[in-house]
Structures are given as structure tokens and as C-alpha cells.
Amino acid sequence: MDLVSKVINSYAAVVYTYKTIGIEKLASHYLGYNEIKELSKHFKGEMTLLQTCNRIELYLYSEDDNLSKVLDYLNQVHNREISSDATILRGKEAITHLFEVASGIDSLSVGEYEILKQIKDSMKEATKLGLASKHMRCLLERSLKVGRKVRLETGISKGKVGVYSLAVEYAKRLLGDISDKKIAIVGAGEIGTKLALILHNEGVKDVTIFNRTNERGRNVAIKYGYSFLPLDFSKLSNYDLVFSAIFYPEKVRAPERSVVIDLGSPSIFEGKNVYTLRDLEAVSQAKLEERRKEIDSAKGIIENGLREFENDCLDIIYDNFVSSFMSKVEQIRESEVTRALRVLETEDPKTKEVLDAMTRSMIKKIFSPMFENLRRAVESNEVNHINLAVSLFSYGGISEDKAKEVKAEQEHKGFSGRNEVNGR
């Protein structure tokens, strides 16, 4: 296995989504960051958690095959059996899935933008917790680039996208024109705020924002010319339509005369007139068919993204090799300078300065051409050259078969090592 394949195959994902286990079950699988922090103590590698209203996905990087241990500890830290529900993805399959998620083609609302921010926030949180290093950041950063490119080069995000857009569209299916309806929005978070914006653009005038935090709820209400009230479920009975997007520890009986669209996970309202994320899947499926051509175009961009990610992996391999190699060379250089000073029987700072400058200059002149050639090999995606260099300088030699493989590749390109040395 070449070095790039080894890096690719070290990625994995533990996936739960609205597609794989359903919206209702998803709520009981949500992981706290304290659980992830505890899990990381038993995992040798890097990880990040991507968690939204319709997915829980744990991305992993480890050169040790310890995924089974992760699943065992996942049950322990969560205090319930959830690993049996997981979809396990490895290597290229895990990477492709993340790129599809970032592109919006795996979302409940096809083409939604919010997932890009959620991936970015997940990366920041994992880095802050010390869970993500260069391999995980490399994967997440490439997924963001792929996601942005899909939206720039296809029409997948054209028009109204996002769970809040699906919710408003579903409300219009149920009630017809909603511009003259009396509407309540429970929650002034990201979804509640965007619902207020869409309703404002739809020309809806009679909207009240209910929120536990007075300042936040009032700010959203003022921005769109709406009313604000502190959260009080008993006051919802006067509204034709109620949108809810909050977490609440108890179930709440829905007002009987209202249509309630609950976007929470888990949903908090109960009643025959309550519609949840599960009901929005029908609208989502219709959108999926509308955007089928754009999804096919997005998959082409994802394929290119996978090839670009292989180059990203080569960059990591190159950087690791140069850093490790030069660290060893520097140790030898320092040791030899110290030995030379003992032989010269001097501790003169000026002499040490001269020796340091001279030895560093020699090392730079000796190794710079090698690193320049290796850098060109990385840029040209010449994997065999990189494998050769890493094998030769990291492990003390290469096998005869490996040498023949590299020689055959060179001869296929029309030149040999002798010609290169002679400058022909």
C-alpha cells in the first residue's frame, strides 16, 4: 500500500442521520462534548463531531485500527447502546460522504448553506478541545472547499433552501396563503431568526416571537417589525400557525386550533395538529427530484475534490517527512558542533557562531536540491518518488522490488537516472 492510500484508509466515520435511523430516534443519540472528550481518552488519533438537527457524525483519523474500541466506548460514555445503529464508513467512503454532506446533497433540505457553517464550527470546537490536528483539519478544510465550489458551479442552492424554508413551504401546503395568518415563532435562535426573515419576505405582518431570553427575542422582533413576548406556552392558543425551534425538557400539549410545525430534535409539542421534521421529508423528496441534475453535477465536483484531497495528503506526507528528517539532521549537526568545540578546546561564542553558520549552510546546500525534487514530485503527484524518498531516508533502505518499480516508471517516461545525472 502506498503512503497516500495509507493516509486515506486511516479515516473513518460513525454516522447517524435522519435517513439511517429516523428523526425520532436521532434525538436520543445526540452526544455532548463532554462525552466526546471522554471518548478521546480511549482513542489514539484525531476526531471531530458534526451534529445538526438531522445528523450526528463522528469523523475519525487513526493509523491504528481501533474503530471497534471506539464503538464500545461510545456506548459507555453515552450510557446506552447506540453503536449498533451506526453506519460505519471507512477510507474513501467516509471522505466522499463528508464531501456530499458539505455539498448539501445529503441534507434534509437539499442545497442548504447552513451545513458549511456547522462543519466550520465543528472544526473550531474540535481544535479547541485538542481533538483535531493536521489530518482532521485537512479533511474538513477540503470539504468546505468542495461545498463552496458546488454552490458556485451548480444551481443546487438556487432559490429557497434550508429547513426553515421547507417549514414555511409545508405551512403553505396546509393553510394556503399565510400572509394574513396570525403566526407565532417559538425560539429566537438561528432557525427562529431565519423563519422571521422568510415570513417578513412573504409579507406576513402579524408575527410574535416567543423566547426565554428577552433581549434576543426582542432584537429579532424589532428587526422585522414584529411583536415579542416572553416564553409562555399558554399564550399560543390565539395563533393560526406556530413554528417551534427550541429544546425543552418536557412535552407540551399543542394548542388545538393552531397548526404547529415543530423543528426541534426532539420535538416538544404533542397533538394531532403537530408536524415535525419527519413530515418535512415529503417536501424534501420533491426538492430532491427537482435538483437531480444539479446533484449529478455536484458529484462530478466531489470526484475532483477527492483527487485534490489526495494531493492534500501528499502535502502532509511531504511536510512530515521534511520535518522529521531535518529534526534528525539538526540533532546530528548540534552534536558535531559540540564535539568540534571540545576538540578545539574552546567555548568562545564567536567560534560557535561561525561553526553554526557554516554547518547550517552546508546542510542547506546539500539537502535543498533533494527537497526541491521531492516538492516537484508532490506537485506532479508522483507517488512512487515520494514513497521511495520516505522509505530510503526514514527506514534505512528500500527493497529491491521497490527500486525496480521506480526504475521502470522512469524508463517508461523516457529517461533514466544516468541521463538525469549527466544532464541529458
Residues with a known catalytic role: 53
Residue tagged 400539549 (cell numbers):
253
Strand 183-186 and strand 87-90: pairing?
Answer: unpaired
**DSSP-based three-state secondary structure for 262:** strand
**DSSP-based three-state secondary structure for 272:** coil
Closest CA to 288 of 152, 107, 146: 107
H/E element, 259: strand 259-262
The residues, any chain, with a CB within 8 Å of residue 261's CB and separated by 6 or more, are 167, 170, 171, 241, 242, 243, 244, 274, 275, 276
Spatial separation of the C-alpha atoms in residues 142 and 22, rounded to whole Å: 28
The neighbouring-strand residues paired with 317 are none
Cβ atoms of residues 254 and 43 within 8 Å? no
Q: Which three cell numbers stand for residue 86?
A: 451506526
The neighbouring-strand residues paired with 258 are none
Spatial separation of the C-alpha atoms in residues 189 and 248, rounded to whole Å: 14
Spatial separation of the C-alpha atoms in residues 116 and 189, rounded to whole Å: 18
Spatial separation of the C-alpha atoms in residues 145 and 248, rounded to whole Å: 36
Cβ atoms of residues 265 and 27 within 8 Å? yes
